[in-house]
Amino acid sequence: MSARVAPDAVRTVTCIGAGVIGGGWAAYFLAQGYQVRAWDPAPDAEEKLRHLVDASWPALTELGLAEGASRDNLTVCATLAEAVEGTDFVQESAPEDLELKRKLLADIDEAAAENVVISSSTSGYPMTDMQTACARPGRTIVGHPFNPPYLIPLVEVVGGEQTDAEVVEWTSAFFEAAGKSVITMDREVPGFIANRLQEALWREALHMINAGEATVEQIDRSITDGPGLRWPFHGPMLTFHLAGGQGGMAHMLDHFGPSLLSPWTRLDAPELTKELRDAVVEGCEEEAEDRTIDDLVAERDRQVIAILRAMGKA
């Protein structure tokens, strides 16, 4: 068996699936100076991918490109086999469909050289459930990013039951060498850590819209002008530590702990009826006013960079 390349010696990466997330990964890896090979079966995939890379490039340039970084280092391939040829690492970002991912990971496993690590961007499937059809499941792992992967530093790394422990270590070291902030989980949790938290908020928001308790705009502003301003620095836990004054978290829990029992949260998901779907879509369109998706992406990128700079992280 040939040796696996060292995590900081990776030169070529492959992106399988090149939509919002796969395209975002491709842009990020290009900016970090890697050679990027991409494959996506959609007929218009290359056009969309190049549009996304071009749209992200001003933000990436502003943050500073690695030596040798260039959009010319992107090769869009006609087949999966061509895309994994000579690669050091594969990031899969195909649609969130368990059967599709099972088959696709098995296909990548069959095509890629035996020591290449295969990471999935899945938002919540445990790798244990996705690696079942692979001949060499030991090298399959979850590397869960956040949109846009070219700006948000976090990646959650977690293996499945058949993933080799050494592959978990290698993948975390690789993402760190690539400039990411890595959380390595020692067990599988549905939704990982961050998505579990995001989904709780999302579920409550849908409940409030469904019940007519809040508009889409009010929900967004309640976070952007409220708790969201504290989260980039301290996260929800240290934020509440300070909410307890000099008594810190101990006072916070003793004081507000009993309110955990009050019916503020509604843990079951609301039914996604057509009315609810339409109200959420219309609310977003109203809030966006005349800003297109491209305008909103550019606006978001500028703001994320400003926040990263304010925190001394860029």
Ligand X SMILES: NC(=O)c1ccc[n+]([C@@H]2O[C@H](COP(=O)([O-])OP(=O)(O)OC[C@H]3O[C@@H](n4cnc5c(N)ncnc54)[C@H](O)[C@@H]3O)[C@@H](O)[C@H]2O)c1
Stretch that binds ligand X, among 139-147, 204-212, 251-259, 264-272 (CB under 6 A): 139-147
Of the two residues 251 and 300, which places its CB atom closer to ligand X in the complex? 300
Of the two residues 176 and 199, which places its CB atom closer to ligand X in the complex? 199
Of the two residues 34 and 146, which places its CB atom closer to ligand X in the complex? 146
Residue 300 to residue 122: CA distance in whole angstroms:
23
Asked if 282 interacts with ligand X (CB under 6 A), we say no
For 185, list phi and psi in degrees, rounded to 5: -90, 140
Q: Could you tell me the smallest distance in angstroms from the CB atom of residue 313 to ligand X?
A: 20
Of the two residues 132 and 239, which places its CB atom closer to ligand X in the complex? 132
Residue 132 to residue 272: CA distance in whole angstroms:
31
DSSP 8-state assignment for residue 9: G
Residues 52-91, one symbol each (x = binds ligand X by CB under 6 A, - = not), give ----------------------------------------
Q: Could you tell me the smallest distance in angstroms from the CB atom of residue 163 to ligand X?
A: 17
The encoded tokens of residue 305 equal 């960079």
Stretch that binds ligand X, among 121-129, 201-209, 261-269, 274-282 (CB under 6 A): 121-129
Of the two residues 133 and 252, which places its CB atom closer to ligand X in the complex? 133
Of the two residues 5 and 219, which places its CB atom closer to ligand X in the complex? 219
CB-based closest residue to ligand X: 19
Q: Which of 35, 87, 93, 172 binds ligand X (CB under 6 A)?
A: 93
Of the two residues 95 and 258, which places its CB atom closer to ligand X in the complex? 95
**Residue 240 carries which side chain, given as an amino acid letter?**
F
Residue 240 to residue 227: CA distance in whole angstroms:
10
Going by their DSSP bridges, the two strands 181-184 and 154-159 should be labelled as: parallel
Residues 140-179, one symbol each (x = binds ligand X by CB under 6 A, - = not), give -----xxx--------------------------------
CB 71 within 8 A of CB 53: yes
Q: Which of 19, 138, 153, 248 binds ligand X (CB under 6 A)?
A: 19
Residue 72 to residue 260: CA distance in whole angstroms:
54
Stretch that binds ligand X, among 18-26, 81-89, 163-171, 255-263 (CB under 6 A): 18-26
Stretch that binds ligand X, among 115-123, 162-170, 199-207, 253-261 (CB under 6 A): 115-123
Closest by CA to 154, choosing from 172, 177, 176, 180, is 180
- Buried b / exposed e across 51-84, counting CB within 10 Å, b at 16+? ebbebbbebbeebeeeeebebebbebbeebeebb
Residue 90 to residue 117: CA distance in whole angstroms:
6
User: DSSP per residue over 247-302, as a string?
Assistant: GHHHHHHHHHGGGGGSTT---SPPP--HHHHHHHHHHHHHHHTT--HHHHHHHHHH
Asked if 17 interacts with ligand X (CB under 6 A), we say yes
Of the two residues 41 and 235, which places its CB atom closer to ligand X in the complex? 41
Asked if 121 interacts with ligand X (CB under 6 A), we say yes
The encoded tokens of residue 113 equal 């050289």
**Total residues contacting ligand X (rule CB under 6 A)?**
23
Which residues of this chain interact with ligand X, rule CB under 6 A?
16-22, 40-42, 45, 93-96, 100, 104, 121-123, 145-147
